[in-house]
Amino acid sequence: MATSYTGKIEKIAFIGNYLPRKCGIATFTTDLLHSIQDISSDCSCWAIAINDTSKGYNYPQEVRFEINQNKIQDYHLAAEFLNINRVDVVSLQHEYGIFGGKEGVYILSTLKNLNIPIVSTLHTVLDEPNKDQLFILREICDISSRVVVMSQRAEVMLETVYGISREKIVVIPHGIPDIPFIDPNFYKDQFGVEGKRVILTFGLLSPNKGIEYMIDAMPTIVNRYPDTVYIVLGVTHPNIKRIYGEEYRHNLQRKAQNNGVEKNIIFYNRFVDIGELIEFLGSADIYVTPYLGEKQIVSGTLAYAMGAGKAIVSTPYWYAEEMLSDGRGRLVPFKNSEALVKEIIDLFDNDIERHAIRKRAYKYSRNMIWREVAKMYYNLFKELKLEQYRKPIVTRGFDAAYNSLRALPEINLTHLKNLTDDTGIIQHARYVVPHRIHGYCTDDNARALIVTVLADRILPEDETLQSLKFKYLAFLEHAFNGETGRFRNFMSYDRKWLEDAGSEDAHGRALWALGVMVNHMGSESVTAMILNLFSRALPAVGQFKSLRGLSYSLLGVSMYLNRFDGDSNAKRLRDSIAESIYRRYVENSDSSWRWFEDICTYANPRISQSMIIAGHQMDRKDIVQAGIDSLDWLLHIQKDERGYFVPIGNQGWFKKGGEKARFDQQPIEASSMIDALATAFAVTGENHWREEAFNVFEWFLGKNDMHSSIYDYTTGGCRDGLQADGVNLNQGAESTISWLLSLLRIYSLKAESSSIAVKNHGL
C-alpha cells in the first residue's frame, strides 16, 4: 500500500542578516534558525547572509552562502545555489534597507528565480509607502506562498494598503527567549546597581529612539527617587556610526551632564549576547521605549521586555499600542518628558500595580517564546511543502513568465497622447506628468511620427492617430531651417528655437521619419509635402561626420527608395553613405572587435541595421555581411550567461579594451536592437534573428537585471530604464516611444514569415 506524503522538511534556507552582524534582523534570523533546528533535529537549516561590507563577517558554519548587498549578480547566484541544492522552503526576512538597489529591489532577482516555496517575514509594513516600496512589497507578497507579519495591525495594513489577500497572510508573533519571571533584585548586583530602582532601554542607538526625552525626565524622577538608575544598553547603529560616528551618544551624555544626572545614567556601549541580555533585562524594574514616531510595526526590544515580565512605559507606536493594550503596559505621548515622569513615578509609587502589569505582560507573551514560534513556522513550512507536492512551483523568473510572447500587451497610446500637446511631444516627464520646462525636441517628434505611421496599420480605427501624426509632421516641417538646410532640435516650452541647427543625429532621425512616412503614406497631397521637405534636407547629409547621424540618414534614404527606387540622386547618396560607413568597419574591426569605431555608445544596432538594409538594396553582400557580423557581435556582448539582454550602460559605455558599463540601461537600446534583429530576419530568412528579437523584447517586461517591468501597464508609458539602484520611474518621451516602436515591431514579427522582403519590412 502506498503511504501518504507527509510534507517532510529536510532543508530550510533563511535569507537575511545574520550574527555576528550587529542588527535586529541578524539576531532574529539567527534565533529563528536555531530554534527551528532545536525542534527538528533531522532538518538541515542553512543561512543565506546579506553583507553590508565587501569583507563580510566571521559567520558560523550554518551560513552556506553570502550575498554582497550591492552586487546584483550575487542575488542571481543565490537563487541558483538554492535551486541546485533542492532546498525545501526559503524563509525570507524582509526589511527594505538590508538589500541592494533602490528600496532593496535586488532581492526580487533571487525570489523570482526560485522554484521553491517562499515564506516572507515582513519586519516593516508602511501605511504610506512610496511607489518603489509599494511595488517591491507587492511583488514579494505575490511571489511568496505565505507572508508572515507579527501584529494584527500589520495584517490589516497588508490587506487594505497593499491589496494582499487575507488568506495569504499569517500572524506569528516576534520570537523571544524563555526568561523566568523573577524579582529584579536577583540580577542587580552583577551590574553594581543593587538597592537601586533600575530603568532600562536597550537596542541599537539611533536618533529615532527618543532617549533624550527620557534623560530630560530623569531630574524629576531622581528628585523623587534619588536611588534611580537609567541604563542605556547598546552600540550605535552601524549605519549611523558609519556616517555620524558617536555624535548621538555623545550628545546624550552631554545632556545627562547638563541635567545634572550623569551619575544616574549608565551607558553600556556594547552589543551583548542573549545570555547577558537576559541578565540586563532581569535587573530592570521598568523598561522604557520612548521612540519618536508611530510607524513601527514591530519591536524586538519591546517583545523581549514583555517576555522578561517587565513593567513597560512606551510611546504609542503601532506595535506598542497593540502589545501593551489591556493593562499590559503604560503609553505616553511622543516627545513628552513630563508624561514619562508621571507614569514612571506612578509605577514606582505603586508596587502592587507595577507587579500586576509585569504579570499580565509575562502571561501574554508565553506564546512568543522561540520554541512556540519555531513550531508555528515549522508547521507552516510543512504545510507549504505538502502544497508543493500537490502542485509544483515553477521558477518565477522571467524566463518562465515571458518565455512565450503569444500574449502581447495591447497597444496603448494613452501616455503618448498625454505627453503631446498642440506643438508636439514634450521631451521629459516627472513620473507620468509631462515636465514642460524641458520643452520639445526634433529627435522625439521624429520617432513619435514613426510610431503613428506604424500604429496606423494596426489600429486603423484610432481616431486620434491622424491628429498625432500631423502634429509630429508639422513639428518637423517647422524644425527645418531653410537658411542652414538643417533641422533644429531643441525648442523651449514657449515655442522658441534654442539653436539654428541641431545635431547630425537629429537631422538623420528627421530624415528617417520622413522616409518611413513616404514608404507608407497613400495621400498624394501629404506625400508631396513630405517629398519637398525630404529633398531640401538631403544635401546637408553630404557634410556629416557623425556615424549615427549618417546611419539614421541612410535608413531614411533607404526607406524613401523603397517607394521611389528610380531617384538617381537618392541612390548616389545612399551608396556614398553606405560606402563611408563600411570603410569605418573595415578600418576598425578585427576578430574580437567587430565594430565601426573604437567605442560602443548609444543606439548601436541602428548602424548595423542601416548596413543590412542599404547593402541589400545595393546588392552588396560585403556591406550586408558587415551589418550582420556587427549585429551578431553586438548581440553577443549584450547577453549575459542567463540569456538576458543587458544593453551597454550610458555611465561609461564600452570602449575597446575596456569594461562594458552595466548601467544605466536605456529603452532606446532594446528598441534599436529589436528593429535591427527584425531587419536581419527579413533579409536572411534565418529564424534565430526573429527569436532573438522576442528575447530582447522581454527586457521591457522584466527579463532584466532588476527583474522589474520597464513597461507600465497602467499608463501605457515606459519607465526611463534601469539604474544601478533600481528602475527609473520617470516615463519620458524617448522611453515611451522606444517601447511602442518595439511593441509594434513584435506585433509585425508575429505575423511575418521569412519570405517577407525588406521593401515591406517598414524600417
In this predicted structure, which of 295-309, 341-355, 518-532, 695-709 has the lowest mean pLDDT? Answer: 518-532
Residue 420 vs residues 569, 681, 727: alpha-carbon distances, Å: 36, 33, 24
Q: What are phi and psi of 297, to 5 degrees?
A: -85, -15
pLDDT at residue 400 above 80?
A: no
424 pLDDT above the threshold of 50: yes
- pLDDT score of 754: 30
Beta carbons of 122 and 143 less than 8 angstroms apart? no
- Strands across the sheet containing 63-68: 63-68, 44-51, 11-16, 89-94, 118-122, 146-149, 169-171
Rounded to 5 degrees, what are φ and ψ at 91?
-110, 110
Find the mean pLDDT for residues 603-614.
96
Q: Where are the alpha helices (DSSP H) in 414-523?
A: 414-419, 442-458, 464-479, 504-520
Residue pLDDT, tens place only, 38-85? 999 889 999 999 998 878 999 999 999 999 988 877 888 898 899 889
Q: Of 605, 586, 606, 611, give the one whose Cα is nearest residue 597.
A: 586
Give every CB contact of residue 189 below 8 A, 6+ residues apart in sequence.
Answer: none
Amino acid at the residue 301? T
pLDDT in tens, 359-390: 999 999 999 999 999 999 999 999 998 876 65
Q: Is 180 exposed, middle or buried (0-12, 13-18, 19+ CB in 10 A)?
A: exposed
- 438-470 as b/e, with b when 16 or more CB fall inside 10 Å? bbbbbbbbbbbbbbbbbbbeebeebeebeebbe
CA–CA separation, 606 and 552 (whole Å) = 7
* Mean pLDDT, residues 10-31: 94
Residue type present at position 717 = G
* Amino acid 392: pLDDT: 54
Closest CA to 213 of 324, 339, 118: 339
Burial class (CB in 10 A: 0-12, 13-18, 19+), 84: exposed
pLDDT at 391: 59
Q: Tell me how many degrees the CA angle 103-105-110 measures, rounded to the nearest 5.
A: 145
Between strands 89-94 and 11-16, the pairing is parallel
- The two beta strands, 146-149 and 490-491, are unpaired
With beta carbons less than 8 A apart as the criterion, state whether 720 and 699 touch: no
Q: Which of 299-303, 316-320, 711-715 is predicted with the least confidence, judged by mean pLDDT?
A: 711-715
734: nearest Cα among 493, 418, 444: 444
Can you list the domains of the chain with their CATH numbers?
11-172+371-396 (3.40.50.2000), 185-365 (3.40.50.2000), 414-760 (1.50.10.10)
700: helix, coil or strand?
Answer: helix
Which grid cell sits at 705?
A: 537585471
- Please give the DSSP secondary-structure letter assigned to residue 286: E
pLDDT at residue 461, rounded to an integer: 60
Mapped onto helix, strand or coil, the DSSP state of residue 117 is coil
Q: Which three cell numbers stand for residue 584?
A: 569605418
Residue 147 and residue 141 in contact, taking contact as beta carbons nearer than 8 Å? yes
- Please give the mean pLDDT across all residues of the chain: 89
563 band by pLDDT with thresholds 50, 70 and 90: confident
509 pLDDT higher than 50: yes
pLDDT beyond 80 at 762: no
pLDDT attached to residue 275: 81
Q: What is the pLDDT of residue 402?
A: 29
pTM: 0.54
User: What is the residue whose three cell numbers read 534636407?
Assistant: 537
State whether residue 561 is helix, strand or coil: helix
For the ranges 110-114, 169-173, 633-637, the lowest mean pLDDT is seen at: 110-114
pLDDT in tens, 716-749: 999 999 998 888 999 999 999 999 999 999 988 8
Task: Give the tens place of pLDDT for each residue, 450-472.
Answer: 999 998 877 766 678 889 999 99
The conformation of residue 263, written as its DSSP 8-state character, comes to: G
What pLDDT does residue 718 have?
A: 95
Buried b (16+ CB within 10 A) or exposed e, 706-740: bbbbbbbeebbbbbbbbbbbbbbbbbbbbbbbbbb
First to last CA, the chain: 66
At residue 274, the pLDDT reads 79
Q: Is the pLDDT of residue 543 over 50?
A: yes
**Whole-number Å distance between alpha carbons of 258 and 261:** 8
Helix (H/G/I), strand (E/B), else coil: 88:
coil
- Look at residue 291 in the predicted model and tell me its pLDDT: 94
Q: What is the pLDDT of residue 756?
A: 35
645 closest CA partner among 633, 637, 654? 637
Grade residue 709 by pLDDT with cuts at 50, 70 and 90: confident
Q: Please name the residues in contact with 568: beta carbons below 8 A apart, sequence gap of 6 or more.
A: none
Angle between the 351-364 and 337-349 helix axes, to the nearest 10 degrees? 100
Grid coordinates of 375: 513550531
User: What mean pLDDT is predicted for residues 513-525?
Assistant: 82
pLDDT, greater one: 711 or 73: 711
Between 504-520 and 524-537, two packed helices, what is the crossing angle to 10 degrees?
Answer: 150
DSSP state, residue 380: H
762 burial level (CB within 10 Å; 0-12, 13-18, 19+): buried
The SS3 assignment for 290 reads: coil
Q: How far apart are CA 758 and CA 752, in angstroms?
A: 12
What is the rounded distance in angstroms from the CA atom of residue 347 to the CA atom of residue 184? 15
Residue 205 is given by DSSP the state: B
Residue 704 burial (10 A CB sphere; 0-12, 13-18, 19+)? buried
Judged against a pLDDT cut of 50, whether residue 253 lies above it is answered with: yes
Closest by Cα among 547, 572, 574, 542 to 558 = 574
